[in-house]
Amino acid sequence: MIAGLIYVAAFCGVCLALLAAIGLIVYFAKYKHILDVTSNISSPPTLPLIGHGHHFLGKQSHEFVQVFKKFCLEYGPTYKLWIGPSFHILLGDVRDVEEVLGSTRFNDKAHEYAALEPWLNEGLLLSSGRKWHSRRKVLTPAFHFKILENFIGIFERESRVLVENLDKEYRMHSDEGFDLYNWVNLCTLDTICETAMGVSVNAQTNADSEYVRAVKTIAMVLHKRMFDILCRFELTYRFTRLAREEKKALAVLHGFTEKVIVQRREELLKAQEAGKLDAADEDTGSKRKMAFLDILLQSQVDGKPLTNMDIREEVDTFMFEGHDTTSSAVTFCFYNLANYPECQQKCFEEIVQVLGKDKSKPVTFEDLNNLHYLDLCIKETLRMFPSVPLLGRKVTEECEINGKIIPAGTNIGISPLQLGRLEELFPDPDTFKPERFEAGYSTERLNPYAYIPFSAGPRNCIGQKFAVLEIKTILSNVLRHYSVEYVGPGEEEIHLIAELILRTKDPLMFKIKPRVYY
Instruction: Tell me whether strands 86-91 and 79-83 are parallel, antiparallel or unpaired.
Output: antiparallel
Asked if residues 367 and 473 have their Cβ atoms less than 8 Å apart, the reply is: no
Cα of 452 vs its chain's centroid, Å:
13
What letter does residue 490 receive in the DSSP assignment? -
Asked if residues 385 and 498 have their Cβ atoms less than 8 Å apart, the reply is: no
For residue 488, the cross-strand partners are: 509
Instruction: Tell me whether strands 411-414 and 391-394 are parallel, antiparallel or unpaired.
Output: antiparallel
72 is in an annotated binding site: no
Cα angle vertex 75, ends 98, 415, to 5°?
35
Signed CA dihedral, 245, 248, 252, 253: sign only: positive
Give the span between the Cα atoms of 163 and 138, in whole angstroms: 36
Give the span between the Cα atoms of 205 and 106, in whole angstroms: 43
Q: Is the peptide bond before 489 cis (omega within 30 degrees of 0)?
A: yes
Cα angle vertex 479, ends 439, 191, to 5°?
90
Asked if residues 222 and 159 have their Cβ atoms less than 8 Å apart, the reply is: no
> What angle do the packed helices 324-339 and 464-481 form, to 10 degrees?
40
Question: Could you tell me how many residues make up the chain?
Answer: 518
Nearest to 471 by CA among 280, 311, 329: 329
Give the residue numbers of the binding site for heme.
461
Give the residue numbers of the binding site.
461
